[in-house]
Amino acid sequence: MIPECHSPDVRLVQLTVPTGKRETVLETLDEREIDYVVTDETSNRGYAAVVYFPLPSAAVEPVLDELEAVGIDEEAYTVVVDAETVVSRRFQALRDEYEDGDVESERISRQELQTEAEEMTPTFGIYVTMTVISAVVATAGMLLDSPAVVVGSMVIAPLIGPALGASVGSVIDDEALFRQSLLYQLLGVVLAIASAAIFAWSVKTTNVVPPALEIASVAEISERLVPDLLSLVIALGAGVAGIVSIATGASVALVGVMIAAALIPPAAAAGIALAWGQPMAAIGPTVLVLVNVLSVNLAGLLTLWYAGYRPDNLFALSPTETRVRRRVVGLIAVVLILSAFLGVITHASYTAGTFEQEATEDVEQLLASEYQQYSLIDLEVKMNEDYPFLSPDRVIVTVGGPPGEAAPGLSNAIHEQVNERAENPVDVEVRFVDVIER
């Protein structure tokens, strides 16, 4: 019985054979023990025949490269399509030869990769429209404090194509694709921030949202005004996952959402901060957008190079390696600089969080040792607005005790106790609440 091969990694190649190259092409396929079907070409366009042959996805690139070496250039068009099933003994042997379980054997061909990268980038008009809509929806979701709407905005964003196209163009020596993807990424960042700022300003001035709304009090906004280093993991993971998805022919839809998650919400937060007249608050999310864009590109470059993608022209290999190396080094340098900035923000946030915890413990210990009739009900730390490096500015301590006047010296004792933990002096407001036990 002839074995059937069912696999999403099967390709059917349709190759036009130029006049005078028919025997050479067929000999090459015979040497590789590849099954094929030949039909004569009668259009008188310089082609002798059309050859159809199935290949495992891992074999597409080396076989096409070998055919190119014997004279099949880009003037003879080649079509590579997915095939559901191949019934052939020789095909199974071909799979065993090319598929050995490593990264290179599971990836799609260089030719398919280039096509995928180009197709994932929409036309200019659609790209601009979808980016603006995505940023506006994300801004609305943040002002509504709705995580569901923010996630929906990520689905709209058309960012995966340009984000991965630059890496693909770099490793296969397609500078046109690289430049186009780079331009689209820069345009996407500017458009997203500008669209978010204009929309947020319009809803503020028309009183769709309260003009006195404090954006720092909205959870979906505040968490992006003060980003930390963990946000970098999202971008690096999205870059690697995006390249692995496209290189293995898997679905990239969900990965596209992940890449958008690294870019659209912080861009919208930056736009909101600008609309609210707080340019300093926009620094943190803007830096986060930039470091995420660069990290996606860096992860994509490294992953593609590790997967074995190289230019088809051997003479272009050395210049491409040099160019990729320079871009990787440059990206690492800039990412490290911006990451250091995020690191300072992370440290400031950690210091503020530690201060609140330690101040709470100290006040509880003070009351337990010297003012047993009183108990700590709440300790709230108010931060200043020195974005992006926030620090404690005021502490509100709520103490419960018996009805009547507060214990002499308790307010001063709490003030001193709290300020012992603060790096800079902070105002302390002590509130007393009567506690009646029955």
Domain count, the chain: 3
Residues in the chain, how many? 438
Closest listed residue to residue 132, CA positions, set 84, 214, 48, 190: 190
The pLDDT of 190-203, averaged and rounded, is 94
Structure tokens at 354: 């530690």
More confident residue, 355 or 254: 355
Domain containing residue 389: CATH number: 3.30.300.20
pLDDT at 103: 47
Q: How far apart are CA 58 and CA 106, in angstroms?
A: 6
Domain assignment of residue 326, yes or no? no
Enclosing H/E stretch for 430: strand 427-434
Same domain, yes or no: 78 and 186: no
More confident residue, 50 or 312: 50
In this structure, the number of other CB atoms found within 10 A of the CB of residue 94 comes to 24
More confident residue, 238 or 339: 339
Position 97 pLDDT exceeds 50: yes
Q: How far apart are CA 75 and CA 64, in angstroms?
A: 14
Same domain, yes or no: 19 and 160: no
Domain assignment of residue 86, yes or no? yes
Same domain, yes or no: 97 and 215: no
Report in angstroms the alpha-carbon separations of 371 from 13, 56, 107, 411, 418: 85, 79, 70, 11, 16
Structure tokens at 417: 């106790």
Domain assignment of residue 331, yes or no? no
Angle (CA) 362-367-369 rounded to 5° is 95
Same domain, yes or no: 360 and 242: no
pLDDT at 409: 85
Encode pLDDT of 377-392 as tens digits: 899 888 877 777 777 8
Domain assignment of residue 323, yes or no? no
Same domain, yes or no: 161 and 184: yes
Same domain, yes or no: 149 and 244: yes
Same domain, yes or no: 81 and 117: no
| 3-class DSSP state of 48 | strand
Encode pLDDT of 146-195 as tens digits: 888 888 888 888 877 888 888 888 888 888 889 999 999 999 999 999 99
Which of 112-126, 199-213, 245-259, 303-317 has the largest mean confidence? 199-213
Domain assignment of residue 214, yes or no? yes
Q: What is the pTM of this model?
A: 0.74
The domain boundary residue, chosen from 62, 89, 106: 106
Same domain, yes or no: 45 and 168: no
pLDDT at 255: 64
- Half-sphere exposure of residue 394, counting CA atoms within 13 Å on the CB side? 6
Same domain, yes or no: 118 and 102: no
Sign of CA dihedral 225, 226, 230, 236: positive
Encode pLDDT of 357-379 as tens digits: 888 898 899 888 888 888 888 99
Same domain, yes or no: 295 and 250: yes
The pLDDT of 42-48, averaged and rounded, is 74
Structure tokens at 244: 């692995």
Domain span at residue 16 reads 4-106
pLDDT at 2: 43
Same domain, yes or no: 167 and 42: no
Which of 33-42, 189-198, 202-211, 249-258 has the largest mean confidence? 189-198
What percentage of residues in the chain have a pLDDT greater than 70?
Answer: 90
Q: Is the peptide bond before 388 cis (omega within 30 degrees of 0)?
A: yes
